[in-house]
Amino acid sequence: MKRLVTDLMRRYRAHHAGNGGLLQGIGIVGTVAFPGIYLLRFTGRLPPLWDDLHWRLVATVLCFGLATRKYWPQKLQPYYLGYSWFAVFYSLAFLLPLTLLQNNASTPSVANMVVSVVLIILLTDWRNTIIMLVAGYMSSIAVYWLMMPDPVLPSSFLLWWVPLSAVLVASGSISKYVEKRAELVRMRRLYSGMAGSVAHEMRTPLSQVQHALDTIEASLRRNTSRNGAVLTREDLAQLLNLTAQGKRSVGRGLQAITLTLQQLSERAVDTSHYTRLSAAACVQKAVDEYAYEGAQQRSRVRLDVLDDFVFIGDETAVVLIVFNLLKNALYYLPLHPEATITITVDAGPEHRIVVRDTGPGIPPEVVGGLFEEFQSAGKVEGTGLGLAFSRRAMRACGGDIACRSELGQFTEFTLRFPPAPAGAEAAPAAAPEPAARPALDLAGRTVLVVDDSAFNRTIVKARLGELGVHAIEAQHGGEALRMIDEGARPAAILMDMQMPGLSGVEATRALRSRPAPANAIPVLGLSANDLPSWREGALEVGMNGYLTKPVQPDLLREELERVLNAPEHAAAP
């Protein structure tokens, strides 16, 4: 029996994973419906019914508990799903059948029974549905038999209700199964597309890095095999060129990962940090920073600024949109080596950025669905989410994106922006931001590096060493907290987000609950995951910032200066 209950709760928990709002919504409906329907009896429009006030009050209280989950104490939250199972069982599987029996299967009671079965099918998996209905019906019959001196079961009702219930349960289960299979196919397609996109984009840069390292190794071997080996100026120039090539390849791979992660995010674009931007400056940044495979690709891209304009938006989002459009256009360059990509910025008659390529074009029947998720035109790999992300980002700033194409001639994407408020001017790109405080000398400071990977700790410690920072290290969150409890007081902590035992999030939450001054130590999260939800999660638990791996030296210095320059940390050793 224990094993059966455990299995049922496991399946019930899985059914509601990521969909906790459904139970709360049903709780709100029940809190209103149970007393509300009872009060309808006083209108005189319903036939005389069994007075089930006390039973309904219990159901109302249970539903109120479902509806108010977010107000439950933290220590009671783990019991919510078990509580919800009992609340659904009592309110729908037990009480409504009991009411039907007491009312001799009156029309309102029969309607309530139909609603109860539909809701139970919605709220549980098929195993729990069957167990809950059978147990509820048997319990209601037993209570009815005990309450009534001369109980009479409505046999005519049961003759058609039992098979109807079976049909409803079977239909609901089949519907859920089909829906689940469709979702599984969708997720497999998403994962396959994501894996294929990352693998495709990473294979080339990694091969280039490997080639650069092989060439460097061969060059060093040739020199060390000579007596009195000395690197010539030409050798050094070649090594520097190969090193630069490797860095560009790594940059291209990281850019591909960033694009993929941004496309996968379904979160609404955050508009709270929108600023006045120059369209020409944004596009120039995208064109300059795009990780081209070589000079031949770069030579096919041209920027034409007819008339710059100012818009209110997010620079990163616009740059990522242009990245995605460039990536799509350059994909076909090997088959159309003479193709060109022209990006035009124009303020009239409307504010727009036009990305036009003279590649293969897109069939008319495909153009209409390009901005839907999982849609692409002729590409084998990819997530099919890039243009959907672009449309979300453009609509968030009040604009839109459209496509026009002629097969065999061209493809043209137009990004339309709403006019900026009168008098809005973009800040000059070269104008430095005024520093709130003077630059901070980090030399001699101590920073705690927390990461379960020894290799990652070594890299971060090397970056800190370049800044003159003394680094101490911990292999996981538990060890970091133990060091703090034993008296360690680093100026800041670099905390990996994913670690065995205590994760970075859990360790930071625990640190913030420590007494002062330990609870005020600045924490910067470290992760290879650049999804907005991860950044927001880090800040919600009290981290002071978030850095993505591999850590860039300049950004590391800027973030450390920022958190240590804060008034509460400015005097920290």
Residues 281 and 251 occupy one common structural domain:
no
**Rounded Cα gap, residues 310 and 230, in angstroms:** 55
User: In whole angstroms, how far apart are CA 228 and each of 223, 231, 288?
Assistant: 9, 10, 43
Confidence of residue 206 (pLDDT cuts 50, 70, 90): low
- CATH no. for residue 313? 3.30.565.10
448: phi then psi, degrees, rounded to nearest 5: -90, 125
CB atoms within 10 A of CB 23: 21
| 311 and 233, same domain (yes or no) | no
Whole-number average pLDDT of the chain: 82
Task: Tell me how far the alpha carbon of residue 567 is from its chain's centroid.
Answer: 33
Mean pLDDT of 320-326: 87
Q: Residue 364 — pLDDT band, cuts 50, 70, 90?
A: confident
For residue 397, name the pLDDT band (cuts at 50, 70, 90). confident
> Do the domain assignments include residue 159?
no
Residue 187 forms part of a structural domain: no
Question: Are 8 and 146 within one domain?
Answer: yes
Q: How many Å apart are CA 407 and CA 301, to the nearest integer? A: 21
Q: 149 and 19, same structural domain?
A: yes
- Nearby residues of 558 by Cβ (< 8 Å), 6 or more positions away: none
Confidence of residue 226 (pLDDT cuts 50, 70, 90): low
Domain presence at residue 215: yes
> Residue 361 in contact with residue 329, Cβ under 8 Å?
no
User: Cα–Cα distance between 356 and 75 in angstroms, integer?
Assistant: 58
The last residue of a domain, from among 264, 298, 320: 264
Question: Are residues 328 and 245 part of one domain?
Answer: no
Q: How far is CA 416 from CA 23, 384, 396, in A?
A: 42, 22, 12
ω into residue 428 within 30 of 0, thus cis?
no
pLDDT at 501: 82
Tokens of 155: 């046999």
Per-residue confidence (pLDDT) for residue 150, from 0 to 100: 86
So what's the pLDDT on residue 380?
47
Residues 320 and 396 in one domain: yes
Q: Which of 438, 492, 486, 451 minimizes the C-alpha distance to 470?
A: 492
Lowest mean pLDDT, pick from 158-172, 268-282, 336-350: 268-282
> Dihedral, CA atoms, 259, 261, 264, 266, nearest 10 degrees?
-100
* Predicted pLDDT of residue 177: 79
Instruction: Point out the least confidently predicted range of 245-254, 318-327, 431-440, 461-470.
Output: 431-440
* pLDDT single digits (tens) 171-189: 888 887 787 787 777 777 6
Higher local confidence (pLDDT), 298 or 531? 298
Q: What share of the chain is helix, strand, coil (3-state, %, to 5)?
A: 60, 10, 30
pLDDT > 90 fraction of the chain, expressed in percent and rounded: 34
CA–chain centroid gap for 242, Å, is 37
Among left, alpha and beta (phi > 0; psi -120 to 50; other), residue 368 is: alpha
Evaluate whether residue 186 is within a structural domain.
Answer: no
Higher pLDDT, 254 or 276: 276
pLDDT band at 2 (very low <50, low <70, confident <90, very high): confident
Predicted local distance difference test score (pLDDT) of residue 95: 94
Distance CA(301)–CA(292), nearest Å, equals 10
pLDDT of residue 573: 46
pLDDT at 142 exceeding the cut of 50: yes
Cis peptide bond upstream of 73, omega within 30: no
Q: Averaged over 404-425, what is the pLDDT?
A: 83
> Do 65 and 108 sit in the same domain of this protein?
yes
Pair (297, 242) in one structural domain: no
Q: For residues 119-132, give the mean pLDDT.
A: 91
In a domain, 269, yes or no: no
Q: Mean pLDDT, to the nearest integer, of 437-444?
A: 68
Classify each residue of 109-129 as buried b or exposed e, where b means 16 or more C-beta atoms within 10 Å of its C-beta.
beebbeebbebbbebbbbebb
Name the domain count of the chain: 4
Distance CA 70, CA 53 (A): 28
346 - beta bridge partners? 352
Q: If you average pLDDT over residues 441-461, what whole number do you get?
A: 88
49-97 pLDDT, tens digit each: 788 999 999 999 999 999 999 899 888 988 999 999 999 999 999 999 9
Lowest mean pLDDT among 3-12, 88-97, 123-132, 239-248: 239-248
Answer yes or no: do 253 and 279 share one domain: no
Using 50, 70 and 90 to split pLDDT, how confident is the model at 367?
confident
Of residues 312 and 565, more confidently modeled: 312
Q: How far is CA 338 from the centre of its chain?
A: 39
Q: Do 40 and 122 share a structural domain?
A: yes
Alpha carbons within 13 angstroms on the beta-carbon side of residue 556 total 25
The answer to whether 493 and 450 are in contact (CB under 8 A) is yes
User: What is the share, in percent, of the chain residues with pLDDT greater than 70?
Assistant: 82
Token pair listed for 404: 């026009």
CA geometry: angle 53, 58, 62, nearest 5 deg: 140
Question: Does residue 398 sit in the same domain as residue 322?
Answer: yes
Binned at pLDDT 50, 70 and 90, residue 436 comes out as very low
Positive or negative, the Cα torsion across 162, 167, 168, 170?
A: positive
Q: Are 56 and 41 in contact (CB under 8 A)?
A: no
pLDDT of residue 433: 45
DSSP secondary structure, 170-210, as one string: HHHHHHHHHHHHHHHHHHHHHHHHHHHHHHHHHHHHHHHHH
| Dihedral over Cα of 346, 352, 353, 356: its sign | negative
The beta-carbon contacts of 537-540 under 8 Å, at least 24 apart in sequence, are 537/505, 538/497, 538/504, 538/505, 538/508
Does the pTM of the predicted model rise above 0.75?
A: no
For residue 471, the domain's CATH number is 3.40.50.2300
User: Rounded CA gap, 519 and 161, in Å?
Assistant: 62
Please say whether the beta carbons of 309 and 417 come within 8 A.
Answer: yes
Domain that holds residue 503: 446-565
Cα–Cα distance, 524 to 556 (Å, whole number): 9
- Over range 510-518, report the average pLDDT: 91
CA distance linking residue 516 with residue 45, whole number of Å: 66
Last residue of a domain, one of 153, 186, 211: 153
Q: By three-state DSSP, how is residue 471 classified?
A: strand
| Complete DSSP assignment for 71-91 | GS-GGGGGGHHHHHHHHHIII
Domain C-terminal end among 361, 395, 416:
416
Q: What is the pLDDT of residues 15-29, one digit of tens each?
A: 887 676 889 999 999
Amino acid 543: pLDDT: 92
The pLDDT score that the predictor gives to residue 207 is: 63
Residue 46's contacts (CB-CB under 8 Å, 6 or more residues apart) are: 40, 108
For residue 60, what are the CA distances in angstroms to 337, 441, 553? 71, 63, 59
Least confident of 287-296, 401-410, 470-479: 287-296
Greater pLDDT, 211 or 340: 340
pLDDT at 201 over 70: no
Instruction: Let me know whether 327 and 233 are in one domain.
Output: no
Among the residue ranges 8-12, 156-160, 382-386, the one predicted with the least confidence is: 382-386
Q: Between 52 and 225, whose confidence is greater?
A: 52
User: Residue 268 pLDDT more than 70?
Assistant: no
427 pLDDT higher than 50 = no
d(CA 301, CA 304): 10
Q: What is the pLDDT of residue 42?
A: 83
343 membership: H or E segment, kind and range:
strand 341-346
Q: Which of 140-149, 361-370, 416-425 has the lowest mean pLDDT?
A: 416-425
Q: What is the mean predicted confidence (pLDDT) over 402-429?
A: 79
Is residue 72 included in any domain, yes or no? Answer: yes
Quick: pLDDT tens for 214-224. 777 777 776 66
As a whole number of Å, the CA-based R_g of the chain is 32
Q: Is residue 167 part of a domain?
A: no
Structural domain includes residue 441: no
The pLDDT, as a whole number, for residue 434 is 45
pLDDT of 8 > 50? The answer is: yes
Helix axes 80-88, 2-15, angle to 10 degrees: 100
